[in-house]
Structure 1
Amino acid sequence: MPYAGVVTDLATFAWLCDICVSREHRVLGLGTWLAGAVRDHLAPHRRVLLFTAEAHEIYARVGFGPLDGPHDRVMALTPQTPGPA
């Protein structure tokens, strides 16, 4: 079964963090369909972000593109990052 996970503030920002389609169903176009459905559902939000290592083509089909501006503004807290002293 296809699945999409989104984190949002329900007002202006959304992060599309997961779209999962089983391997045997990927040839049916379900990933593109689901990405489009999520895009349409999140249309009221001013900013919708996603990060992908290998599915750029799928997301580009439904209107996602590279992030404008300096990419050094994207930050993540990882277990190796020390917290405040």
Structure 2
Amino acid sequence: MDETAYEFSADAARIDRGWVHRTLSEHAYWAIGRSRALQDAAIDGSRCFGVYRRADGRQVAFARLVTDGATFGWLADVIVDPALRGEGVGKALVAGVAAELDALGLKRTLLMTSDAHGLYAQNGWGPVSSPENWLVRPGPDGRASF
């Protein structure tokens, strides 16, 4: 990624909620069809991060961290503009988030991915140790998908 062309930010005020909702609900297998109200509620309850084009400030990537800010976090809704995938924007986003996590000093941060294990491994994520100890409670629809 050309660092002169893009910048990472943890400033929640910069989040383009319309872009985030549109991109997730149209391009993210886990969020297809998610309502704008539900996405806005998720943003409001999370620490949010973005990557922006320096030239015009347009958002091109997003991630959110659900956390208590002290001991635990869950990284979710990581997405890059489909037209920019493969150009290092996702790497910059995840590296920026990892630096923010390090500053918080969380004991553990989880995430779930079906296809980006290598990207996250570059920033310290790995398989859950003792997966037999982890449980999930499905929602009212009976599904436990993220």
TM-score bracket, shorter-length normalisation: 0.7 to 0.9
Quote how far apart the aligned CAs of 1:80 are: 2.0
Q: Which residue of 1 aligns with 2:142?
A: 80
Quote how far apart the aligned CAs of 1:70 are: 2.6
Quote how far apart the aligned CAs of 1:69 are: 0.8
Identity %: 36
Say if 1:12 and 1:30 are closer, same or farther in 2 by CA, change over 3 A.
Answer: same
Q: Which residue of 1 aligns with 2:106?
A: 45
Say if 1:26 and 1:10 are closer, same or farther in 2 by CA, change over 3 A.
Answer: same
Distance across 2 between alignment mates of 1:45 and 1:75: 21
* Structure 2 unaligned spans of 5+: 1-59
- Give deviations 1:1-49, integer Å, cap 9, x for gaps: 1111110001110100121101211121111111111111011111100
Instruction: Calculate the TM-score normalised by the size of structure 2.
Output: 0.51
Letter in 1 for 2:69: L
1:27 pairs with 2:86 = yes
Say if 1:75 and 1:57 are closer, same or farther in 2 by CA, change over 3 A.
Answer: same
Instruction: Calculate the TM-score normalised by the size of structure 1.
Output: 0.84
Work out which structure has the larger RCO, using CA pairs closer than 8 Å and 6 or more positions apart in sequence.
1
Distance across 2 between alignment mates of 1:6 and 1:76: 20
Say if 1:31 and 1:76 are closer, same or farther in 2 by CA, change over 3 A.
Answer: farther
The number of equivalent residue pairs is 81
